[in-house]
Structure 1
Amino acid sequence: MANYNHIVMPNDQAAGLRRIMAKPKPRIVSVLSASSTQAQPRLITNLAATMVSQGNEVLVMHASEHAFEHHYELAQSPTLLDVISDTHTLAQAIKTTTNGYASVKLMHKSLFKKANDAHSASQLNLLFNQLAQQYDIVLVDTMLNADSVLPLHQLNESEIIIQLSRKPESITEAYSLIKQVCGELGRRSFGIIVDDSTDAQAQIVFGNIAQVAKRYMQIELEFFGAIPADSHISRASKLGRSVIDAFPLAMASTALKQIAQRLDYKHDNIFNNKQAQLS
């Protein structure tokens, strides 16, 4: 069995271990999209950059068959699966992006729907868990696999946020995602972010889906915020920058700051509180 300890902590290992033990466990958040697939990387990249601007160490992991690796500057990068196969090092797989957060790819998109053998799955989980410990928050661009679960055990045990819009088909898809996950993993909480809406509009959408989830599945949902329709997001993207960097006073930047604060590990861990209520 390969030993990844020397890869994961390449510098002063004792100092790194002290730093890990001194701070709370990393917050691992998987984002599932019931909205446009393009909206998923747009949210994650801007949210990651916003959290970096607030002093957090952030890792973004691409774990989906959608071909959006270039949004995370990972188009030609090796993957964590390559690392456990000893064809590449972890240092080669992790990228420091122009927006200040680190990014990594779980596996090549063509392999996403293929089942890994038990040994590879175990090694992937081990490597991911070791890597996550080096960050304050890990944001995961992902989707459900053929078994209607997320591709790593730790992701299924951690927070899931569903991104949706006000469109009826998006709301239906969000509820379907909740049913699929709970059908496999049992009752659990979810976070909700609503795209292209004001806070008032998002609250209506959230209230409707939360009421249905509570009534028919006894599922608790948590409102994380709304992302307004704001041309500054696309303008920043064309500049190759995050909206918080290019247009810090834009409405979208304000909304992202509020969501980032809710996800900050120094704030209350909503997921753990909700899971305790469900148990």
Structure 2
Amino acid sequence: MLDQAQTLRKLVEQEHDDTRQTRIVTVTSGKGGVGKSNFTLNFALALRRNGLKTLIFDADIGMANIDVLMGRSAAYSVYHLLKREKTVWEIISEGPEDVHFIAGGSGFRDLLDLPQTELDYFEAQIVKLQGHYDIILFDTGAGLSRETVSFIAAAQETIVVTTPEPTSITDAYALIKMVGSMQQDAAFKLVVNRTTDEREGRQTADRISLVARQFLELDIPLLGTIPDDANVMRAVKKQSPFSIAFPASGASKAVAEIARGFLNNGTANAPNTGGIRGFIQRMLKRRG
């Protein structure tokens, strides 16, 4: 009898669709503590509720915690893939509401310095995901580490999560500036978290967008704002996504609206960069 992991692996392998264009999105922030991973998880759930087959790839080197936030444990992580101990199908786990995830691990810290044979294995495994998912969300580390910047610069599009705090705004802009200098056609979108009201969120986004347009010649649209909501921390303590634990909360409604806007308006503006194969090849090309 197949165990749960084997059953999931078999289902994922069977659900390949040659016509499916897998969309690669990185979610990042200029600094830690702004709610990036919590947003990623609940955004993934919202996308799944809109009918999209969604995978979260936890690429946060220092604070990999997607599995903790959803109260699920993973038998294997990306570490086992990088060490060539497991295939990509074997490290995929099932989260709530049929959102799939790949748990992070310290192995990412060495990703860009791996021998070519191991990089080739990593690339060959990851590109197998093409056509199996509609969207893959890479939850990157916060800040300007070499690995994080490489992920973002290679991505099809990037969602930058910030808050109205001055340090968060400054760090978000610094991240955008660095990546923009590496990738001329970088496609950024902003999410402003923990706002007192929508007006504060829009003002925060306007500050970043105005400077980016003036000095970087980048157009950075606002994807949406999320109110400061005590239910978010309650859900973290319960190890349950807030959109499941508190579906009627302000934060849950805001993320659902962000997902709808992303799907309605984002596809036309997303650059065609070769799906996951193009993403991995660009990322590994930047090493060193």
Same fold, judged at TM 0.5 (above): yes
**TM-score (normalizing by structure 1):** 0.80
Choose from 103, 106, 118 the match for 1:109.
Answer: 106
Structure 1 residue 32 corresponds to structure 2 residue 28? yes
Matches within 5 A, 1:172-251: 172-197=170-195, 198-251=197-250
Q: Which residue of 1 aligns with 2:162?
A: 164
SS in 2 for 1:221: coil
- Shift in CA distance, 157/110, structure 1 to aligned 2, threshold 3 Å: closer
Match of 2:98 among 100, 119, 122: 100
The equivalent of 2:277 in structure 1 is none
> Which runs of 5 or more structure 1 residues have no equivalent in the other structure?
1-7
The letter of the residue matching 2:58 is H
Query: In 1, are the aligned partners of 2:76 and 2:90 still within 8 Å (CA)?
Result: yes
Structure 1 runs of 4+ with >6 Å offset: none
Cα distance in 1 between the residues matched to 2:248 and 2:74: 34
Structure 1 counterpart SS, 2:255: helix
**Superposed counterparts of 1:41-80, under 5 Å:** 41-69=37-65, 70-71=68-69, 77-80=75-78
Q: Distance in 2 between matches of 1:100 and 1:10?
A: 14
**Inter-CA distance 87–113: structure 2 relative to 1 (3 Å threshold):** closer
Contact 2:74–2:103 (8 Å) recurs in 1: no
Partner AA of 1:21 in structure 2: D
Matching residue's letter, 1:185: Q
Q: CA RMSD in A?
A: 3.0
1:105 offset after TM fit, Å? Answer: 3.3
1:225–1:109: structure 2 CA closer, same or farther, 3 Å change rule?
Answer: same
**Counterpart residue identity of residue 183, structure 1:** S
User: How far apart are residue 12 of structure 1 and its match?
Assistant: 9.5
CA 1:40/1:157 → structure 2, altered by over 3 Å: closer, same or farther? closer
Query: Any conservation in 1 of the 2:159–2:191 contact (CA below 8 Å)?
Result: yes
When residues 62 and 132 of structure 1 are mapped into structure 2, their CA distance, relative to the original with a 3 A threshold, is farther
Rounded to whole Å, the distance in 2 between the matches of 1:121 and 1:273 is: 25
Shift of 1:122: 3.6
Shift of residue 74 of structure 1? 7.0
**SS where residue 261 of structure 1 aligns?**
helix
Paired letter, 1:247: F
Give 1:169 deviation, angstroms: 0.9
Q: 1:157 to 1:140 in 2, by over 3 A?
A: closer
Which residue of 116, 119, 138 maps to 1:118? 116
| Matched residue count | 261
Higher relative contact order (CA 8 A, sep 6+): 2
Distance 2:190 2:252 in 1: 18
Q: Once the two structures are superposed, what CA deviation does each residue of 1:73-98 show, in whole Å capped at 9, x if it has no partner? A: 67664334533644124343111013
- Structure 2 CA distance for partners of 1:274 and 1:16, relative to 1, 3 Å: closer
Shift of 1:67: 2.6
Q: Percent identity?
A: 20
2:57 is paired with a residue of what secondary structure? strand
Between the aligned partners of 1:268 and 1:147, the Cα distance in structure 2 is: 26
C-alpha separation between the residues in 1 aligned to 2:269 and 2:33?
25
SS at match of 1:150: helix
Structure 1 residue 189: deviation in Å?
Answer: 2.4
* C-alpha deviation, 1:125, in angstroms: 3.0
Q: Indicate the residue corresponding to 1:150 in structure 2.
A: 150
The answer as to whether partners of 2:58 and 2:140 remain within 8 angstroms in 1 is yes
Distance 1:132 1:231 in 2: 38
2: CA distance, partners of 1:12 / 1:166: 40
TM-score calculated relative to the size of structure 2: 0.78
2:235 & 2:229 partners in 1: Cα distance?
11
Partners of 1:29 and 1:159 within 8 A in 2: yes
